[in-house]
C-alpha cells in the first residue's frame, strides 16, 4: 500500500480551529491515556457528563471480561442530552430539524424536545413501565422515535429499537428475547412516497406467540393509516402522552444501568442482544461526536443512519444532543423524489457535518453520472466542512468522488471504523489531526488500544495482515449479550487470546510506513450488505425453514459494486433440481420467504440450485469453493478432498 499512498493533509486553517488541533495534540492525548488510562477516561467522564452522584472508581476489572466503568456514579442520559442544555441557556436552540419524506420541515427546540420527552416518559409511567423494564421501539425516523428513546432513558427503562425493515418474525424474536413490557410503534412509515405498515407488523409479530410479556402497544399516528387497535392492549400515543405534564423528574441510574439493547448478527445462532451501559456509552458517544466530527455550537450535523442501527443511537439520539448540537432527522430515502435529495437537503439546511455510508455514496455516484440534475455540482454545498463514512469499507474511488464532488476538495473525510458492540468510533481520522489516505480508517481514537495480532495474540508487524483486537477495555464497550453471558465471553473474549483481548471479528492490516489501519473484512461468517450486518447462518436457517421445499442451503457473500457485498445462496431442494423458468419461480419464492423470515435486506441476490453441496468426505460444506463459484472465479483450489466434485459445475450455472 505504501508506494501508492495518496495523502491529503489537513488544512492549517481547519487545524487551528479544531477541537483536537494537530498531530501533537492527538499524540499528547494518546500519551495521557497510556500513562494513566483510568485518569484519562475519568477526566473526560467528568468533563463531558453531568453526574448526579460522582463516581469514585473509573474501571472495575474484578469480573473481567465483564468490565464496569464509573460504577458507583449515577446519572441520567436524557438529563444530559436535554435538561442540561436548557439549563445552560440553549432552550430555544434548534435540537432537531426534521424533514419528512414529502419534504415538510419541522424544527424542534431543546425545550420542546425536553417537554415532549417528559410527556412520553410520564405516559410510559402511567401504563406501568418502570426502571429496568425493556421497551421495544419499532418506528421510522421521526422526532417521536428520538423522543421515545430519550423517554425510556429518562425513566430508566431499557430500550431496544428494531429497524423498521425487519419482518414480523424478526421483531417477534427480539421482543421475545428482551421480554419487553411495551412496544412503541406507529401506524405506518412513509418512505419514497409510499406508506408502509408498522403497527400491522407488530400485530403479526405478537400473534406469532412468545411475546406474552408485552402489556401495551403505544401507537404514534404518523399518517392516519388504517390500523386495528386491540382493546386493552393497544393505545394511541397521543391519548397516553399529550395530556401529561411536560416535566418529569429523571430516574438517576447507576452508570452500568443498561441504556439499551441492540440486536446484531454473529457468525452462529440467532442475532444477539448487545447490551450497552449508560455512563460509559454516553461518554464515548459525546466524546467522539466532539472530536471526530469536531462539533461546534453553530454546526448543523446530519447523520443519515436510521435510529434502528447503532449509528443512529450514537450519532442521532445521544452524541449530538449530549453536546447541545443541531441535527437533521430525515424520514425518507436518498433517491426520492430524485437522487439529488441528500444534496438538496445539505443546501437547504446548510448542513456542515455530513455522515453517511459508502453504499449510499456509490449508488448516488451512479445516479449523478447519469444525470447532471442530481449531481452534487448542481447544488450549493459550500456549508459543508466535514464528511464522514461508516459501516463498511469505502473504496478509494468512492472516497475520491465524495471528497471532490461533495466536499469540494476541501472537507476532510472521517472514515470511522466501529461496531454495534463498540458503541462509538474506534479507529478513525480526526479532521484537524490526521493526514488522510483514501480507503484507510487511519489511527485509533485517542485512548483506544486496537492492534493487529496473529491467532495467539502476538502483534503482527506493520505490513502484514492479521486479526483486529482491542487490548484494553474502553468505556462504551458491549457489557454482555442480553441473557447469554457465556456467549459474550466466547464471542468477544475467546481463549485464543487468553480471554484478555476483545475480538472485533474483522481482519486488518497496518501500513508499513504510517501504521495506518485498513480493515480487510470480516473473518467470520458475517456479511455486510449495504452496511447491514447479517450472519450467513441466519439466512441459511431462513431458507431451510421453508421446509416443504428446501433440504439444505449454504450462503456466502460476493463482492458487489454498489452494496459492498451481495448474498448468494446455494440450495438443495427436496425435489429434483429445477431449471429454466421453474428455477426462476422457485428462486423468487425463496427470496420472498427470506424477506418474510428476516426482512427484505436479507434477500439473496443470487440463488443457485444443485443436487448437493460441495462437501468433504467428513460432510463439511466447503465454503471457500462456494465463495469462488459465487464470484464466478475458476476453481483453482485443491478439490481432492471433495466427496462430489461434479457438483461444482452444476452450482456455477446461473439461472
Provide the annotated binding site.
191-194, 311, 391-393, 415-420, 506, 522, 530, 533, 544, 550
Residue 541 sits in the site that holds ligand PRX (CB under 6 A) = no
- Provide the minimum distance between the beta carbon of 109 and ligand PRX in the complex, in angstroms, as a whole number: 29
> How do strand 386-390 and strand 353-356 relate by DSSP bridges?
parallel
Residue number, nearest CB to ligand PRX = 420
Cβ distance to ligand PRX smaller for residue 21 or 419 = 419
183: helix, strand or coil: strand
533 binds ligand PRX (CB under 6 A): yes
Binding piece for ligand PRX, criterion CB under 6 A, among 38-46, 195-203, 418-426, 474-482: 418-426
211 touches ligand PRX by CB under 6 A: no
Size of the site for ligand PRX (CB under 6 A): 21
> What's the closest the beta carbon of residue 100 comes to ligand PRX, in angstroms?
25
Among 65, 388, 393, 466, binds ligand PRX (CB under 6 A): 393
Q: Which of 70, 166, 355, 418 binds ligand PRX (CB under 6 A)?
A: 418
Cell of 417: 471504523
Give first-to-last CA distance, the chain, whole Å: 38
Give the footprint of ligand PRX on residues 436-455 (CB under 6 A). Answer: 441
Interface with ligand PRX includes 117 (CB under 6 A)?
A: no
Q: Which stretch in 378-386, 498-506, 614-622, 628-636 sits in contact with ligand PRX by CB under 6 A?
A: 498-506
SS3 568: strand
3-state DSSP assignment of residue 281: helix
Distance between CA atoms of residues 417 and 414, nearest Å: 9
419 binds ligand PRX (CB under 6 A): yes
- The verdict on 415 binding ligand PRX (CB under 6 A) reads yes
Please identify which residue in 307, 390, 452, 469 interacts with ligand PRX, judged by CB under 6 A: 390
As a residue count, the chain comes to: 655
- Cell numbers 421446509 correspond to 547
Q: What is d(CA 369, CA 359) in angstroms, rounded to the nearest whole number? A: 16
Q: Minimum distance from CB of 256 to ligand PRX (Å)?
A: 21
Sign of the Cα torsion 429, 435, 437, 438 reads: positive
- In whole angstroms, the minimum distance from the beta carbon of 358 to ligand PRX comes to 8
Binding residues for Mg(2+): 544, 550
Return the number of the residue (134 or 272) whose C-beta is nearest ligand PRX: 272
Cα separation, 508 vs 501, in Å, equals 15
User: Measured over all CA atoms, what is the biggest interatomic distance in the chain, rounded to whole angstroms?
Assistant: 73
Cβ 120 vs Cβ 148: under 8 Å: yes
The reply on whether position 601 binds ligand PRX by CB under 6 A is: no
Instruction: Give the one residue of 83, 234, 506, 525 binding ligand PRX; rule: CB under 6 A.
Output: 506
Contact 75, 52 (CB under 8 A): yes
State how far the Cα of 374 lies from the Cα of 368, in Å rounded to an integer: 5
Q: Does 505 bind ligand PRX (CB under 6 A)?
A: yes
Q: Single out the residue of 132, 157, 141 nearest to residue 248, CA to CA.
A: 157
At CA 66, angle to CA 473 and CA 156, rounded to 5? 100
Q: How far apart are CA 50 and CA 54, in angstroms?
A: 9
Residue 565 is a binding residue for ligand PRX (CB under 6 A): no
Residues of this chain that bind ligand PRX (CB under 6 A): 264, 310-311, 390-393, 415-420, 441, 504-506, 519, 522, 528, 533
Amino acid at each position: 500500500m505504501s508506494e501508492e499512498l495518496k495523502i491529503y493533509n489537513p488544512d492549517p486553517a481547519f487545524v487551528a480551529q479544531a477541537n483536537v488541533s494537530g498531530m501533537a495534540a492527538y499524540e499528547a492525548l494518546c500519551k495521557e491515556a497510556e500513562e494513566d488510562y483510568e485518569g484519562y477516561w475519568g477526566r473526560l467522564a467528568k468533563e463531558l457528563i453531568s453526574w448526579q452522584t460522582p463516581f469514585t472508581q473509573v474501571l472495575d476489572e474484578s469480573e473481567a471480561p465483564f468490565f464496569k466503568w464509573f460504577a458507583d456514579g449515577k446519572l441520567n442520559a436524557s438529563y444530559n442530552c436535554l435538561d442540561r442544555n436548557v439549563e445552560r441557556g440553549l432552550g430555544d436552540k434548534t435540537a432537531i430539524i426534521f424533514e419528512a419524506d414529502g419534504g415538510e420541515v419541522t424544527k424542534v427546540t431543546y425545550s420542546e424536545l425536553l417537554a415532549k420527552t417528559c410527556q412520553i416518559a410520564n405516559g410510559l409511567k402511567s401504563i406501568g413501565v418502570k426502571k429496568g423494564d425493556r421497551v421495544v421501539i419499532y418506528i421510522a425516523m421521526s422526532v417521536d422515535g428520538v423522543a421515545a428513546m430519550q423517554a425510556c432513558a429518562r425513566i430508566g427503562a431499557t430500550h431496544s429499537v428494531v429497524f423498521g425493515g425487519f419482518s414480523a418474525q424478526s421483531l417477534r424474536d427480539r421482543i421475545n428475547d428482551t421480554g419487553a413490557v411495551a412496544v412503541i410503534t406507529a401506524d405506518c412509515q412513509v418512505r419514497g412516497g409510499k406508506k408502509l405498515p408498522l403497527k400491522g407488523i407488530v400485530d403479526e409479530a405478537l400473534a406469532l406467540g412468545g411475546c406474552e410479556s408485552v402489556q401495551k402497544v403505544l401507537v404514534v399516528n404518523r399518517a392516519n393509516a388504517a390500523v386495528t387497535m386491540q382493546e386493552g392492549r393497544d393505545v394511541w400515543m397521543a391519548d397516553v402522552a399529550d395530556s401529561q405534564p411536560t416535566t418529569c423528574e429523571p430516574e438517576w441510574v447507576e452508570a452500568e444501568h443498561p441504556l439499551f439493547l441492540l440486536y446484531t448478527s454473529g457468525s452462529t445462532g440467532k442475532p444477539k442482544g448487545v447490551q450497552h451501559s449508560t455512563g460509559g456509552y454516553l461518554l464515548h458517544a459525546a466524546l467522539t461526536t466532539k472530536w471526530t466530527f469536531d462539533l461546534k455550537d453553530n454546526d448543523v450535523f446530519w447523520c443519515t443512519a436510521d435510529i434502528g442501527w447503532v449509528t443512529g443511537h450514537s450519532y442521532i439520539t445521544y452524541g449530538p444532543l449530549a453536546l447541545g448540537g443541531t441535527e437533521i432527522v430525515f424520514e425518507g430515502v436518498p433517491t426520492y423524489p430524485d437522487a439529488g435529495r441528500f444534496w438538496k437537503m445539505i443546501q437547504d439546511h446548510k448542513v456542515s457535518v455530513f455522515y453517511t455510508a459508502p453504499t449510499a455514496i456509490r449508488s448516488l455516484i451512479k445516479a449523478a453520472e447519469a444525470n447532471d440534475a442530481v449531481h452534487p455540482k448542481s447544488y450549493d454545498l459550500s456549508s459543508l466542512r466535514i464528511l464522514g463514512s461508516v459501516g463498511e469499507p469505502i473504496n478509494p474511488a468512492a472516497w475520491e468522488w465524495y471528497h471532490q464532488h461533495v466536499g469540494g476538495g476541501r472537507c476532510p473525510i472521517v472514515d470511522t471504523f466501529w461496531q454495534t458492540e463498540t458503541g462509538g468510533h474506534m479507529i478513525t481520522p480526526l479532521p484537524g489531526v490526521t493526514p488522510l489516505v483514501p480507503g484507510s480508517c487511519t489511527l485509533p481514537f485517542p485512548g483506544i488500544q486496537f492492534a493487529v495480532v496473529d491467532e495467539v495474540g502476538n502483534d503482527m508487524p506493520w505490513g502484514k495482515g492479521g486479526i483486529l483486537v482491542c487490548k484494553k477495555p474502553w468505556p462504551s464497550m458491549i457489557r454482555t449479550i442480553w441473557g447469554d453471558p457465556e456467549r459474550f465471553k466466547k464471542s468477544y473474549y475467546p481463549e485464543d487470546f487468553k480471554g484478555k483481548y476483545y475480538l472485533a471479528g474483522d481482519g486488518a492490516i497496518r501500513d508499513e510506513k504510517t501504521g495506518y489501519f485498513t480493515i480487510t473484512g470480516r473473518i467470520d461468517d458475517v456479511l455486510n450488505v449495504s452496511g447491514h450486518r447479517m450472519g450467513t447462518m441466519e439466512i441459511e436457517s431462513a431458507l431451510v425453514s421453508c421446509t416443504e421445499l428446501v433440504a439444505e442451503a449454504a450462503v456466502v457473500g460476493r463482492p458487489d459494486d454498489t452494496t459492498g457485498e451481495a448474498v448468494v445462496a446455494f440450495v438443495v431442494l427436496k425435489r429434483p433440481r429445477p431449471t429454466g423458468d421453474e428455477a426462476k419461480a422457485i428462486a423468487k419464492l425463496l427470496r420472498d420467504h427470506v424477506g418474510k423470515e428476516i426482512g427484505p435486506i436479507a434477500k439473496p441476490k443470487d440463488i443457485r440450485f444443485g443436487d448437493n453441496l460441495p462437501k468433504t468426505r467428513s460432510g463439511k460444506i466447503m465454503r471457500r469453493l462456494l465463495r469462488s463459484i459465487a464470484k464466478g472465479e475458476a476453481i483453482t483450489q485443491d478439490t481432492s478432498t471433495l466427496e462430489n466434485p461434479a457438483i461444482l459445475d452444476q452450482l456455477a450455472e446461473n439461472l
